[in-house]
Structure 1
Amino acid sequence: MYARSLFCLTLAALPLPALADTVWLKNGDRLTGKIAVLDGGKLLIETEYGGSIPIAWKQVATLESDRPLVVEFHGSPQDELSRSLSAADEGQVKLGNGSESRTVPLASISQLIHPKPLIQDFTWEGNVDVALDYKRAETNTDDYDVSFDTEAKHGLWRHNAQASYNREYQDGVTTTHNWEAEYALDRFIDEHWFWQGRLDYKRDHVEEVARQRTIGTGPGYQFWDNELGAFSLASLFNRSDYLFATGEKENFYSLAIKWDYNRYLVGKTFELFSTGELGKPLSNVADYSLDSELGLRYRVTDWASLNMKAEKDLVSGSEGDLDETRYTIGFGVGW
């Protein structure tokens, strides 16, 4: 008797495994893991044995989860927060909210995402993209493009860091050679509003604008930030210092709008992203500046991806102009 009691106490002291979400398929199979997101007709479930597995929503018989999920219905502008999902008859699921619950058809649900609290534990994610282009013809061209983008969050703070390096040779002559680094720190005031401070530095060894340094600060607004992506705008008051290839220098203050957008599609298989900044000087030393990027990323595995990007760098100034557009196709690593 004492041995049995000691055995029970030992079991009670052991940490219990985390409860897993369960998805039942119409063919009789069952998957366990963590439901990540439902979007574009694809349910993404994260498993320890097979990584992230996309499932066609129409093949799901029912499912259950003890985690809160935001449920979006076809034809309804209002989302619903469900504290849990419980299995029901085939083609249905039970939405639980404490003592109240209701059963809905799976076909009526268009989206499932996890709510993201404002204050959360430390998270870190990012991408490194590489593009190489070698052309051998009447003009031999070697093109290298490397970019780094990362974001870390902890509590009310968000750290953003970006860097890129571009170099191109034509018949051994350097036609493009530049690099850029930027760091931005956001302090959230509430769920949407934040204050940003940032430092940006660019170096170009070929174009007329040889160096650019910008320090800025200002308020920003986060429109959304969830499992399907994020979109934010920041209005900045900047001080910019330009050094031209002629040796002339300019420094001035400006106002700018900065955007950061990404959206996952088809169960996180594709990612559409865009970042950029449009600035207007408060004096006549320059007309305007634009630094933007638009791209599409395709996930091959949980960590590997293929990407296509278009980058636009435009400066109109009294001492020189910069107008450069780059198109790249490459591969990347994400975490």
Structure 2
Amino acid sequence: MIKTVASLLRSVLLFFTVVLISTPLLARDKTDVVILKNGDRVTGEIKSLDRGKMSLSTDHMGTIQIEWAEVAQVTSQWIFEVETETGLRIFGALAPADEPETIQILGEDSRNTMHQTSVVKMTQLEAGFLARLEGYVDLGFSFARANRAKEWTLDTEVKTRNEIRQIRVNLNSLFSDRNDVDSNTRNVLILDWTRFFSNRWLGTALTNFTQNQELDLDLRSTFGGTVGRHLLQSNRSKFTLAGGAVYTREKFIIDDPADPEDIRNSIEGVAALQYELFNFGEPEADIVVNLAIFPSLSNWGRVRMNFDTRIRYEIFKDFFWSVSAFDQYDSSPPEGAEKNDFGVNTGVGWKW
């Protein structure tokens, strides 16, 4: 298992290297104009608007983040998907309107005017796949001399979105080692594909692979889908509920020489929520909370739960300090196995 994880980590690092080398080559002309309320004028390439911040790539300052509330006017000849708080999505170029703090979306046969405070997301549609990539890498390490305890953590995510869909890959890995106990590993790999619909509805096809020595879990493979809706979506927060069903195959390693493996196949329901809170003052900070409950439909009475939360605090531009907590619970594990595993980690990271 350790070799598999090491190979996966090398693949992730190679992927990041390709992304960093390739992305600048795919950038378009930097002709977009952003005028701030203080009168400053910035020319560059508008990458996106999300969580109350506009990402703008410039020739001399690199990629900068501008708080959306401080923008007076935006102009771009390129096509964007513009999404409002109500879930309305409009496609077109960007131009200032006659009224202050309003924006025009210029489509082929339409002209829509809206107040800037109602706009919560912009996605550049004419950029290539690699140019739309965004993500983060978070690394943690701790050491205690008394028992020679060492712990490494890795949390990384890459995602890309176009006008109707998003692809996301997330890897969370932990390895701990002490002189007085056996080493412990926990690895979670998530791949999901999301299709966005009108009125803030979305559908997600998801795949999850989990390994956890603390729970005697050699591998849990999950395949399925959910339907959800952003109940709240603004430039400061987002709250999403989703429900669906998944197929799960689990392989436990148990301390029984006669039958060392416990393999389970089951159908489970899914009830999930996500809450995100953003603060773009100085310094930038955000909080993300995820909760997913899996009641078994083929083994009545069994319930699994995955919970995780992360607080991220910017140290300086694009680098942050984070604290995260997790809890994995199983109401009916194999005999002798733990019901839940929980922990708190801290680390430093970089986002792009």
Fold shared by both chains (TM-score > 0.5): yes
Q: Does 1:178 align with 2:148?
A: no
**CA shift in 2, pair 1:161/1:248, >3 Å:** same
On the 8 A contact 2:172/2:189 being kept in 1, the answer is: no
Match of 2:331, SS state, is strand
User: What residue identity is the alignment partner of 1:298?
Assistant: Y
**CA shift in 2, pair 1:86/1:299, >3 Å:** same
User: Which residue is 1:270 aligned to?
Assistant: 285
Counterpart mapping for 1:295-306 below 5 A: 295-301=310-316, 303-306=318-321
User: Which residue is 1:257 aligned to?
Assistant: 270
Query: Mean alpha-carbon deviation: is it higher for 45-54 or for 302-311?
Result: 45-54
Q: What is the CA distance between 1:174 and its match in structure 2?
A: 3.8
User: Which residue is 1:131 aligned to?
Assistant: 140
User: Which residue is 1:65 aligned to?
Assistant: 75
Counterpart mapping for 1:132-281 below 5 A: 132-136=141-145, 141-153=149-161, 158-170=166-178, 172-174=179-181, 177-186=184-193, 188=195, 190=197, 192-194=201-203, 196-204=205-213, 207-221=214-228, 223=230, 231=240, 233=242, 235-246=244-255, 247-257=260-270, 259=272, 261=274, 263=276, 265-267=278-280, 269-281=284-296
Match of 1:253, SS state, is strand
Q: What is the CA distance between 1:294 and its match in structure 2?
A: 0.6
Partner Cα distance (2:101, 2:162) in 1: 35
Q: Which sections of structure 2, spanning at least 5 residues, go unmatched?
A: 1-27
Q: 2:305 aligns with which of 277, 285, 290?
A: 290
Partner Cα distance (2:273, 2:185) in 1: 22
Partner Cα distance (1:56, 1:210) in 2: 45
**CA shift in 2, pair 1:176/1:297, >3 Å:** farther
Partner Cα distance (2:196, 2:75) in 1: 32
**CA shift in 2, pair 1:46/1:302, >3 Å:** farther
TM-score by length of 1: 0.68
User: Which residue is 2:59 aligned to?
Assistant: 48
**CA shift in 2, pair 1:190/1:80, >3 Å:** closer
Per-residue deviation, residues 16-64 of structure 1 (Å, max 9, x unmatched): 95532231453x5433335654866x77655332231445946x6x434
Partner Cα distance (1:237, 1:309) in 2: 26
Partner Cα distance (1:80, 1:190) in 2: 9
Partner Cα distance (1:38, 1:161) in 2: 19
Give the length in aligned residue pairs.
Answer: 303
**CA shift in 2, pair 1:64/1:231, >3 Å:** same
On the 8 A contact 1:252/1:282 being kept in 2, the answer is: no
User: What residue identity is the alignment partner of 1:21?
Assistant: V
Structure with greater proportional strand content? 1
Match of 1:321, SS state, is coil
Q: Does 1:329 align with 2:337?
A: no
Query: Mean alpha-carbon deviation: is it higher for 238-247 or for 42-51?
Result: 42-51
Partner Cα distance (1:80, 1:284) in 2: 42
User: Which residue is 1:32 aligned to?
Assistant: 43
Partner Cα distance (1:69, 1:154) in 2: 8
Q: What is the CA distance between 1:278 and its match in structure 2?
A: 1.9
On the 8 A contact 1:310/1:325 being kept in 2, the answer is: yes
Partner Cα distance (1:119, 1:277) in 2: 35
**CA shift in 2, pair 1:283/1:71, >3 Å:** closer
Partner Cα distance (2:181, 2:290) in 1: 27
Partner Cα distance (1:263, 1:97) in 2: 27
Structure with greater proportional helix content? 2
User: Which residue is 1:23 aligned to?
Assistant: 35
TM-score by length of 2: 0.66
Q: What is the RMSD computed on CA atoms of the aligned residues?
A: 4.4
Q: What is the CA distance between 1:213 and its match in structure 2?
A: 1.9
Partner Cα distance (2:176, 2:32) in 1: 50
On the 8 A contact 1:159/1:183 being kept in 2, the answer is: no
